[in-house]
Structure 1
Amino acid sequence: MHIRRSAEEIAANRARYEEHQKKGLEFAPTALPGKSPLPAPVADAASIIHREIIPGGWYWSTRVKPFETLRISLDAGFSSLAMVAWKASEPSERLNLPDTVKLQWTTGLGKGRVIFSDMGRVMFSITEDSSAAHDCLMGGSNTQSNAAKYPDAITRNTRDNLILLATKLGLDRRDIPAALSLFAPVRVDSEGRFEWRPELMNDGDYIDLRAEMEMTVGFSNCPHPLDPNPVCAPKPVTVTRLAAVVPEAGDLCRTATAEAVRGFENNAFATA
C-alpha cells in the first residue's frame, strides 16, 4: 500500500535528518584533505607483492592482509572498476555501501574516508585518492543495462563477472554485496537524478586502499551504466598490492571522524 505524506511531514522528516547530520558532522578532530596530487608516487620495487593488469571486460580477485595497500591506477586511460570485498575468515561479513554512506553522512568517498563492512567494522581506509569520483549508489552493469546501451554488440558486464568470481571463491550469488564503482564520476543533481560528470576525472587517476582486516577482494572491469561512451571499450586497469605498513597513532583515516573511530574500535574488539 502506498502512503502519501503531506508536505509538512516531509519537511519535518528532512529537518530531523539535517539535525542528525549536523550532529554527526560536528565531531571532526581532523580536517579531511583535498585530492592526492598527480602523478601517483612510484612504488618501491621491494614493497610490491604483486601487480595485476585487469583487461577490459574481465575480472580478478586477490587476498589481502591487514595494512597492505591496493593501489588501483588508470595507467592505460579511463575505465571504471567495480569492487566488492569479503572478510577472509568469515565471508558473511562483506562490504556494505549503505552503511559506509550513512555512517559518514556522505556519498563522496575520498582521501581520509573509510569503507565499512555490514558488521560496523572498517574494511578499507582511503589513504590516497586523486579523483574522489567514485560511485557508491548505482552499482555496476548487468545484462539488461548493457543490452540497452550496446544493442548490436556482445559484451561482458559486472553482474555476470561477479557471479563467476564468487562461484570460483566457493560463494553464491547471494553473497555478492553492492559493488563500489571506482573512477565513476556520478553525482546527484538538485532533482535527485544521477548525472555523469567527466570533468571530475584526471588522466592517470589512482586510489590507495589500505586493508584494515584480512579480506578477499574482487574487481570487474566493465563500463559503468552511466558511461556515455556508445562503444563498450574499457581500458586495462592496474592493481598493485603493496606490502603492509602499520599506521601511525594519529593516522588520518583513523581519527578524521567519530564514525571511523568507532569502526576501528569494533575492529580491535573483534581481534581481541
Structure 2
Amino acid sequence: MIKESPLNIQDAKQTFTIPSGDYFIGVVKAGCTFRIVDLEGNQAADTLFYNANKPAERYSATDTIREQGNVYLTAGSVLRSNENNPLLEIVADTCGRHDTLGGACATESNTVRYDLEKRCMHACRDSWMLAIAENPEYGLSKKDISHNINFFMNVPVTAEGGLTFEDGISGAGKYVEMKTHMDIIVLISNCPQLNNPCNGYNPTPVDLVVWDA
C-alpha cells in the first residue's frame, strides 16, 4: 500500500548515508520514527531488528507473517518479535511492498546459486558479521543473525510456491518509514549483490533518516 509520510526531512534529528556494500548499526529509541531511502532506485537493504534491552528478542518473519496474514510488508504492517511482541510498525511506504522471505546473500549461497568463483564476493552476512565484530557494545554475536527483511527487494512467490529474484519495484527517492514500539537495534547491510537483479546489478547508497519521538 502506497502511503506518503507527513514528516519533513528538514526536521529530522539525524541522517546517515550507507554506501553500497557497507553496514549501519545503531539504536533507535522507543517512539521515534526512521526512514530508509532508496536514493538511486532498485537497491536492496537487508535489515535485522533487535530489542535493544534484550537482544535475544529479535524480528521474526514467522510471527510477523502469521499475525498479518501476508508474506509482504508495507504501510500498516506490524513487525513482530520471536516473543510475538510488536517491535515496529511501518507507517509510510512509497515503494509498495518489501520482501521477508528471500533471506540474505552469503558467500555460501553465492557459490551454490551462481558459481564457485563467486564465493569470494562480498555478501550481506559478511557485512552483518563485520558490524557485530566492530561494535561489541551491542551484545550481538553470530547466533543472533536470523530472519531479515529485504527492504525494496522484489521476490515474487510463484504459482508452485517457489521464490524468484526479479527487477526491483522501487525507484530513486522511494522510502519506507517505521515507528518503534521499543528501543530497537537497527542492523542494515546495504546489499552488495551483483549476481541477481535485486540491485539492478549496480549497488547504490541508501539513507537512514531519524526523527525524535
Please give the range of the TM-score, normalised by the shorter of the 2 chains. 0.7 to 0.9
Q: Secondary structure at the match of 1:208?
A: strand
Using the TM superposition, give the Cα deviation of residue 192 of structure 1 relative to its aligned residue in structure 2, in angstroms: 1.0
Higher strand fraction (1 or 2) = 2
- Residues 198-219 of structure 1 show CA distances to partners (whole Å, capped at 9, x for unaligned) of 3633332210011110011100
**Counterpart among 5, 8, 31 of residue 43 in structure 1:** 8
CA distance in 1, matches of 2:85, 2:173: 31
CA distance in 1, matches of 2:173, 2:110: 26
Partners of 1:126 and 1:207 within 8 A in 2:
yes
CA distance in 2, matches of 1:82, 1:97: 13
Correspondence list, 1:52-201, <5 A: 52-147=16-111, 148-149=113-114, 151=117, 154-167=120-133, 168=135, 169-198=138-167, 200-201=169-170
Q: How many residues align?
A: 208
1:80–1:114 CA distance, 2 compared to 1 (3 A):
same
1:223–1:194 CA distance, 2 compared to 1 (3 A):
farther
Higher helix fraction (1 or 2) = 1
Higher RCO (C-alpha 8 Å, min separation 6)? 2
Using the TM superposition, give the Cα deviation of residue 154 of structure 1 relative to its aligned residue in structure 2, in angstroms: 5.0
Partners of 1:181 and 1:224 within 8 A in 2:
no
- Residues 162-208 of structure 1 show CA distances to partners (whole Å, capped at 9, x for unaligned) of 12222323321001221111011111011112123436333322100
Using the TM superposition, give the Cα deviation of residue 141 of structure 1 relative to its aligned residue in structure 2, in angstroms: 0.4
Correspondence list, 1:208-219, <5 A: 208-219=177-188
TM-score by length of structure 1 reads: 0.69
**Percent identity, aligned pairs only?**
27
Residue 227 in structure 1 maps to residue 196 in structure 2: yes
1:225–1:97 CA distance, 2 compared to 1 (3 A):
farther
TM-score by length of structure 2 reads: 0.87
Partners of 2:21 and 2:203 within 8 A in 1:
yes
CA distance in 1, matches of 2:125, 2:9: 35
Partners of 2:44 and 2:198 within 8 A in 1:
no
**Which consecutive unaligned segments of at least 5 residues does structure 1 have?**
1-33, 245-272
CA RMSD of aligned residues (A): 2.5
Q: Secondary structure at the match of 2:54?
A: coil
Task: Write the letter of the residue equivalent to 1:220.
Answer: S
